Amino acid sequence: MKHRRLAAIIFTVLLLAATFAGCARTVNEESTASVESEVSPDPAPAPEPVDEPISNTPAPDKPAAAPFQSDLVIRYPAQAAALLQPEYGEEDPAAETVASGANRFALRLSNELVSKEPGKNFVCSPYSVWLPLAALLNATDESHRDALLESLGAQGVTEEDLNRAASRMLYDLTKERDREYGISDPLQIANAVFVDKTAKLNGEFAQLFLDYFRGQAMNVDFSSDEAVREVNRWASENTEGLITDIIQEFTPGTVAAIANAIYFSDRWDWEFDPAQTAEGIFHAPDGDTAAMFMKREGDGLSYYEDASIQAIALRFNSGGEMYILLPEDGDASGLLASLDETYFTTIRNGFGERTGKLLLPRFRIESDIIKLGDPLGSLGVPLFDAQAAPLTGLLDGDIPVSLSSAVQKAMIEVDEKGTTAAAVTVMMMTGGGPMPTEPFEMVCDKPFVFLLCDRTYDGGSQILFTGVVNQPDF
């Protein structure tokens, strides 16, 4: 990781494709809602993304990234509704249910994925999957809506409840409250839907996507390389150039793609001293290996311990945190595979300020392509039913759309200054125990679990990344 930049990025692309009968619709048809389409007849090719060195020095008071500008953007004539602001002291049971459910989804998806490859390094971004699926609830037919809500951890709430909760979540995560005071936000979240030129986005979905998810809409030609260039350019511009060539090609029959990008850049609120970083031995499942251990020692460490684990919370300047869970038996994969919301809540509620010492290795993990189709099916996501084609509200004309496959690739890097993380998800569619009284020592010289979170009013710590370090390569 370069010297001063702390970034975490999540990029999610959900590709939607379907076979359908009937006549093709062109993008210059008049919209049935308050959405207008402005498409250049011969758009110029987008410039190829340029790989640049990544610096870890966050620019102070850096202005927010400019909105993505393209000749293909479907422009909204009216300004989006304001994000919904949670008021202190206010209780919103439905929003709390949704926020809690998002964490439950995060842990269940992590359970499914990490159990496939025990003993190996693992990283994923469940929130990057949850948010676009939540948006797609607005396009799901009534017969599959309850099943999708249940899979998202939001059973018992309405479509309107989930939209409202998502808006409140975005308000908190993007620090909307602080913008009027000129405080820069370390977390940026972008959503977009790309629609083929032969189809037309449903106007009601487009407006809900804009109002509650800040989602843009664009027209592309999925039968040409133009669509690949546009999606890759959008990805790069919304992740500070860290995520570039996400898509190589679109499968025949693709009619739409929904995308999410998250960019995070912040320092630890208590940085590790590089002068105290020293080489040590990490007891990996495949044998001992050398690692560079960072050291933090003193009072005020946020610490938890029970008979099975030690845990510590490392906070960022923005108020987010990374939880490090060190299992006593060394089976970090097994710990994450069994971690549920109840135990995670027990751990979070059990933290107290302690005097002690932490030794944590610097680490960098990059996943291979993770296949998400079966795990999401196991969670009950009902959008893979090709015969039912449940996404009937995405496009005008009752074009049948359903998920056929889904993949993700993710990475994370942690050092003395902070954290960099990135993830890309692509979904194709076709037609506690008591605290110790003595100073603790937590030496992470064996496999451990991490959870990178940010704060929301309704959900507390909202899980963005999860992972296991079985080998702290750096």
**Domain-wise residue ranges, the chain:** 8-32+87-267+365-429, 274-362+433-469
pLDDT at site 44: 37
- Report how far residue 7's alpha carbon sits from residue 412's, in angstroms, rounded to the nearest whole number: 9
- pLDDT value at 431 more than 70: no
Q: Give the pair of three-digit tokens for residue 292.
A: 């560079």
Distance in Å from the first CA to the final CA of the chain: 8
- Report how far residue 24's alpha carbon sits from residue 18's, in angstroms, rounded to the nearest whole number: 13
With b for 16 or more beta-carbon neighbours within 10 A and e for fewer, the 352-379 pattern comes to eebebebbbbbbbbebeebebbebbbeb
Give pLDDT tens digits for 289-307.
999 999 999 888 999 999 9
- In this chain, the answer to whether the domains covering 8-32+87-267+365-429 and 274-362+433-469 adopt an identical fold is no
- Report how far residue 390's alpha carbon sits from residue 143's, in angstroms, rounded to the nearest whole number: 8
CATH 3.40.50.880 fits 8-32+87-267+365-429, yes or no: no
pTM: 0.78
* Spatial contact of 191 and 260, defined as CB atoms under 8 Å apart: yes
Residue matched to tokens 């001293």: 273
- CA distances to 30, 76, 94, 164, 207 from 79, rounded to whole Å, are 20, 7, 27, 18, 10
Give pLDDT tens digits for 361-420.
999 887 777 778 889 899 999 987 888 888 888 888 777 787 776 767 776 778 888 877
pLDDT at site 39: 33
What DSSP line would sit under 17-36, residue for residue?
E----S----TTSPPSSS--
Give pLDDT tens digits for 227-255.
888 888 888 888 878 877 777 788 888 88
- Report how far residue 220's alpha carbon sits from residue 226's, in angstroms, rounded to the nearest whole number: 7
- Report how far residue 341's alpha carbon sits from residue 99's, in angstroms, rounded to the nearest whole number: 12
Give pLDDT tens digits for 138-162.
999 999 999 999 999 999 999 999 9
Among residues 268, 259, 308, 296, which one has the least CA distance to residue 426?
A: 259
Q: Which fold has domain 274-362+433-469?
A: Alpha-1-antitrypsin; domain 1 (2.30.39)
